[in-house]
Amino acid sequence: MTRLHLVRHGPTHAKSMVGWSDLPADLSDTVAIARLSTFLPETATVISSDLIRATATADAIQGARPRLPHDPRLRELNFGDWELRRFQQIEAEDPEGIRAFWETPGSNRAPGGESWNDLRARADAAIDALISRLAGGELIVVAHFGLILTQVQRALGIDAETAFGHRIDNLSVTEIHCEASRWHAERINHIP
Into which CATH architecture does domain 2-190 fall? Answer: 3-Layer(aba) Sandwich (3.40)
- Short-list 154, 142, 163, 150, CA closest to 62: 142
- Short-list 49, 52, 90, 76, CA closest to 146: 76
pLDDT tens for each residue of 22-71: 999 999 999 999 999 999 999 999 999 999 999 999 999 999 999 999 99
Ordered by start, the domain boundaries in the chain are 2-190
Residue 173 bridge partners (DSSP): 7, 190
pLDDT class of 134 with cuts at 50, 70, 90: confident
Please give the Cα distance from 177 to 162 (Å, whole number).
20
pLDDT tens for each residue of 64-112: 999 999 999 999 999 999 999 999 999 999 999 999 998 888 899 999 9
Please give the Cα distance from 6 to 145 (Å, whole number).
10
Q: What is the pTM of this model?
A: 0.95
Please give the Cα distance from 162 to 150 (Å, whole number).
11
Q: Give percent of the chain with pLDDT exceeding 70.
A: 100
Task: Give pLDDT, residue 123.
Answer: 98
Contacts of 95 (CB under 8 A, 6+ apart): none
- The CA-based diameter of the chain, rounded to the nearest angstrom, is 49
On the question of pLDDT at 178 being above 90, the answer is yes
